[in-house]
Amino acid sequence: MVTLPYLQEMQAYALAPGMVNLLELDPDRPRIFDWIQHHVPQINHLLQQYLQDCHACFPPTEQPPLQIFAVPLSPYFGIDAFCNFSSQPMTILVDVGRVEPHHWLGLVAHEYAHAQVGKPGHDRAFAEVLNHLCLGLGLPSPGYTEAQLKSYPGGTPVVDALAFWRGTPISTPPDP
């Protein structure tokens, strides 16, 4: 994988210009690009496994067509991940640097629930799907209030999201 084409492809899945902003990576861009080139394939593989685990919670006829990728997202938008409903297949982009690795499965489940209901927002239909996923995946229930659903899976916010993408020691992904 060549890093720049990968990031440009991820930009094409973004919901708005600048969501995957390469300029914000400067001055650490060379270090981040190197880390992405050597580690993102295994992280994407793990995210794909999590996606398959979510699929397994539903019959095949109820599994939305999805793809998933790890990518640094602009902190300007203040999100950890999103689902692009208009791409074919629908695409989930996850900034794994913004969330502690033990919360990655919960974050994938959150975005999967959006894909399952086919829209953004944290309404009753979303709550039912996310709670169903959490039960099937052995994750804690998020509850049913909008505040609980919006912040699921929770955890302590990562102060420096780019630290993960630089390859700092605290950025160890979970074992597949």
Q: What is the reported pLDDT for 114?
A: 98
Q: Which domains does the chain have, with CATH numbers?
A: 3-160 (3.30.2010.10)
Q: What is the reported pLDDT for 142?
A: 93
Q: What is the reported pLDDT for 173?
A: 56
Q: What is the reported pLDDT for 76?
A: 86
Q: What is the reported pLDDT for 110?
A: 98
SS3 string of the chain? CCHHHHHHHHHHHCCCCCCCCHHHHCCCHHHHHHHHHHHHHHHHHHHHHHHHHHHCCCCHHHCCCEEEEECCCCHHHCCCEEEECCCCCEEEEECHHHCCHHHHHHHHHHHHHHHHHCCCCCCHHHHHHHHHHHHHHCCCCCCCCHHHHHCCCCCCCCCCHHHHHHCCHHHCCCCC
Q: What is the reported pLDDT for 175?
A: 59
Q: What is the reported pLDDT for 2?
A: 60
| Tens-binned pLDDT, residue by residue, of the chain (176 aa) | 567 889 999 999 999 878 997 767 667 888 889 999 999 999 999 999 999 999 999 999 999 999 999 999 998 888 999 999 999 999 999 999 999 999 999 999 999 999 999 999 999 999 999 999 999 999 999 989 999 999 999 888 788 888 899 888 654 556 55
pTM comes to 0.92
Q: How far is CA 152 from CA 93, 107, 123, 139, in A?
A: 16, 7, 13, 11
